[in-house]
Chain A
Amino acid sequence: MTALVDTAPLGETHAPGGTLEAKAISAWFGSNKVLEKVSLTMPANTVTALIGPSGCGKSTFLRILNRMHELIPSAQLNGEVLLDGDDIYASGHRITETRKRVGMVFQKPNPFPAMSLADNVTAGLKLTGTRVSRGDREALIERSLTRAGLWKEVKDRLKEPGAALSGGQQQRLCIARSLAVEPEVLLMDEPCSALDPTSTRRVEETIYEIKDQVTIVIVTHNMQQAARVSQQCAFFLAEMGTPGGIVEAGATEQIFGDPRDPRTEDYVNGRFG
Chain B
Amino acid sequence: MTVLLEPDQHADPSVVEDRPRGIDPALPKVDRVFHGVARSIGALVLVIMGAIGVFLGYQSIPTFQRYGFGFFTESQWQPEKDLLGISSVLIGTFTVAIVALAIAFPLALATALYISEYAPAKIKSGLVSLIDLMAAIPSIVWGLWGFFLIQPKAIHIAHWLHTHLGWVSFFHVDTDPNASQWAQSRYAASAFIAGIAVAMMVLPMAAAVMRQVFSQAPPGEREAALALGSTKWGMVRTVVIPFGRGGIIGGTMLSMGRALGETIAVVLIISPSFSIKFAPLEVGTETVSALIAGRFGEATSAQLSALLTAGFVLFIITLIINTLAALIVARSRSGALTD
**A-to-B contact residues, CB < 8 Å:** 66, 68, 71, 73, 96-101, 103-104, 106, 108, 110-115, 123-124, 126-128, 174, 177-178, 181
Task: Give 11 A-B contacts (CB < 8 Å), ordered by A residue.
Answer: A101-B229, A114-B333, A123-B225, A124-B228, A127-B229, A127-B231, A127-B235, A128-B229, A174-B224, A178-B227, A181-B229
Closest A residue to B224 using CB positions:
A110
Closest B residue to A187 using CB positions:
B227
| A110 and B221 form a contact (CB under 8 A) | yes
| A104 and B235 form a contact (CB under 8 A) | no
Residues of A within 8 A of B36 (CB): none
| A96 and B230 form a contact (CB under 8 A) | yes
Residue of B224, B225, B228, B229 with most chain A CB atoms under a 10 A cut-off: B229
Residues of B within 8 A of A177 (CB): 224, 228
Closest B residue to A120 using CB positions:
B224
Q: If the complex has contacts A96-B231, A127-B235, A127-B238, are A71 and B226 also in contact, measured as CB distance less than 8 A?
A: yes
Residues of A within 8 A of B333 (CB): 113-114
A-contact bits for B225-263, CB 8 A (1 contact / 0 none)? 111111100110011001000000000000000000000
Residues of A within 8 A of B227 (CB): 66, 68, 99, 103-104, 106, 178
Closest A residue to B245 using CB positions:
A114
Expressed in whole angstroms, the minimum distance between the Cβ of B222 and any Cβ of chain A is: 8
Bound together, the chains give a CA A115 to CA B221 distance in angstroms of: 12
Residues of B within 8 A of A115 (CB): 238
| B228 and A114 form a contact (CB under 8 A) | no
| B228 and A123 form a contact (CB under 8 A) | yes
Bound together, the chains give a CA A177 to CA B221 distance in angstroms of: 13
State the majority secondary structure of interface residues on B.
helix
| A106 and B224 form a contact (CB under 8 A) | yes
Closest B residue to A105 using CB positions:
B227
Bound together, the chains give a CA A178 to CA B83 distance in angstroms of: 70
New A-B pairs, 10, CB < 8 Å, besides A114-B333, A177-B224, A181-B228: A68-B226, A99-B228, A104-B223, A108-B220, A112-B239, A115-B238, A127-B231, A127-B234, A127-B235, A177-B228
Q: Among A110, A123, A124, A181, which residue has its beta carbon within 8 angstroms of that of B223?
A: A110
Q: If the complex has contacts A114-B242, A114-B333, are A124 and B229 also in contact, measured as CB distance less than 8 A?
A: yes
Q: Which 8 A-B pairs have the closest CB atoms?
A: A100-B229, A127-B230, A110-B220, A124-B228, A104-B227, A110-B224, A99-B229, A127-B234
Q: If the complex has contacts A123-B238, A127-B234, are A99 and B226 also in contact, measured as CB distance less than 8 A?
A: yes
Residues of B within 8 A of A126 (CB): 234, 238
**Does chain A have a CB within 8 A of B121?**
yes
Residues of B within 8 A of A128 (CB): 228-230, 234
Expressed in whole angstroms, the minimum distance between the Cβ of A132 and any Cβ of chain B is: 15
Expressed in whole angstroms, the minimum distance between the Cβ of A197 and any Cβ of chain B is: 23
**Does chain A have a CB within 8 A of B138?**
no
Closest B residue to A94 using CB positions:
B229
Residues of A within 8 A of B234 (CB): 126-128
| A106 and B223 form a contact (CB under 8 A) | yes
**Does chain A have a CB within 8 A of B50?**
no
Bound together, the chains give a CA A73 to CA B124 distance in angstroms of: 13
Bound together, the chains give a CA A86 to CA B221 distance in angstroms of: 29
Bound together, the chains give a CA A98 to CA B228 distance in angstroms of: 9
Residues of B within 8 A of A114 (CB): 242, 333
**Does chain A have a CB within 8 A of B218?**
yes
Closest A residue to B222 using CB positions:
A71
| B228 and A100 form a contact (CB under 8 A) | yes
Q: If the complex has contacts A110-B218, A113-B333, A114-B242, are A96 and B229 also in contact, measured as CB distance less than 8 A?
A: yes
| A112 and B228 form a contact (CB under 8 A) | no
Bound together, the chains give a CA A47 to CA B339 distance in angstroms of: 33
Residues of A within 8 A of B230 (CB): 96, 99, 124, 127-128
Residues of B within 8 A of A123 (CB): 225, 228, 238
Residue of B220, B224, B227 with most chain A CB atoms under a 10 A cut-off: B227
